[in-house]
Amino acid sequence: MANKSKVTIEDVAQKVGVGIATVSRAINNSGSISPHTKARILEAIEELGFIPNLSAQSLKIRHTNQIALAVPDIRNAFVPEIAWSVEQAAKQYGYRVMLINTSGNAQTELEIMRDVKKLHVDGLVILPLAYPNTLVDLINKSTVPISMINYGKKLPAEVKADIVSLSHQEGRLAMEHLISIGRTRIAYAGAPKDIIEERYNAYVQCLSHVDVSLVYFGEDFSLQTGSKAADYFYSLKNMPDAVYAGNDMVAIGIINRFKELGIRVPEDVAVVGIDNNIWTTITTPKVSSVSIMGVEVARLATELLLKRIREQTQGEFERFQFEPRLIVRESSVSITRGSSYSG
């Protein structure tokens, strides 16, 4: 009779002729496994007298039924929707989600990639903001599967991660809309241009000439940045007639401060943001925004990661793109303008 204390999961796998990950799925009743194979594994377990040590087994095959989600800032109104979508997708497969805030800091994004193995998670969904130069190198060296939500960065084809992104620049939709409603003095406000750089690039590419006096770079994509941008634009001898904001939080900050200063939106200045977060529909005026399909993008990124984990595949990495969508609301409706401002 076999010594039960010495029977291992490897013994069971060898007897049945399957991998230890398949034995684990049979024990935990998770993942894809045929009824016939599962029955053979359970028979082998009984015959050998194997007593699963679920904790030790999880560590041995690197399955913890937990993934990590790294986001720039949970306080930003679009991030909770991302987190919720990731959590819902993970729940369907019996996985928990560990949330990590990077604050959009390059060093923090790198630290997460260096330490991801120490987190005892089966995989990582990451939404980078800073995109430090060595991030891709660390992703390619990771022993933990990575799925990336990519907004605003052109990445090299050899990135060893499943990537879900947008099909084209979301900022271009905002700019083309402002131009189409007749605005000619369009300003930009957001975080430094190297953070989600494609959003600022869209501003430059849509203009024949960039007036640097109409560009405001704050510290981040926050309400405070928007408020300071409004003060700056108000101080100009010739104010802009439209503002393309790098995200909705900046747009809302601009609109709120403009109202305090007596600047009408959209009559004096039209404003468009990006993200289409929930706040855009409850402010006055309601904010025009470009939807970055956050819920859908996050769900797919999570499903791709879990598929790679469950199937333990090392093959070709997936690339999926969603179409951004412009939603026009009160802050940029096309109207005949008559300014109440004289500066």
Q: pLDDT (tens digit, 9 = 90+) per residue, 145-159? A: 999 999 878 888 889
| Element housing 330 (H / E) | none
- pLDDT bin (cut points 50, 70, 90) of residue 339 is very low
Distance of CA 63 to CAs 92, 110, 145, 302, Å? Answer: 16, 23, 12, 16
Percent of the chain at pLDDT exceeding 90? 62
Distances (CA, A) of 90 to 55, 302, 320: 20, 7, 19
CATH of 66-167+293-323, one of 3.60.21.10, 3.40.50.2300, 3.20.20.30, 3.40.50.300: 3.40.50.2300
Q: How far apart are CA 277 and CA 294, in angstroms?
A: 9
Q: Which segments of the chain belong to CATH 1.10.260.40?
A: 4-60
| pLDDT score, position 62 | 54
- Output the CATH code of domain 4-60: 1.10.260.40
* List of residues 6+ apart from 127 with CB closer than 8 A: 69, 70, 71, 72, 79, 82, 148, 149, 151
Overall average pLDDT of the 109-130 stretch: 90
Range(s) for CATH 3.40.50.2300 in the chain? 66-167+293-323, 170-292+328-332
Kindly tell me if the per-residue pLDDT of 274 is higher than 90: yes
- For residue 321, give the nearest of 304, 334, 306 by alpha carbon: 304
Task: Give residue 53's pLDDT band: very low, low, confident or very high (50, 70, 90).
Answer: low
Query: At 129, phi and psi to the nearest 5?
Result: -125, -45
Question: How high is the mean pLDDT of the chain?
Answer: 89
- Is residue 336 helix, strand or coil? coil
Q: Which amino acid is at 178?
A: L
pLDDT digits (tens, 9 = 90+) for 61-107: 557 889 999 999 888 889 999 999 999 999 988 899 999 999 888 89
Q: Which stretch, 31-40, 242-251, 304-313, has highest mean pLDDT?
A: 242-251
CATH number assigned to the domain covering 170-292+328-332: 3.40.50.2300
- Name residues whose C-beta falls within 8 Å of residue 72's C-beta, 6 or more positions apart in sequence: 79, 101, 102, 103, 104, 127, 128, 129
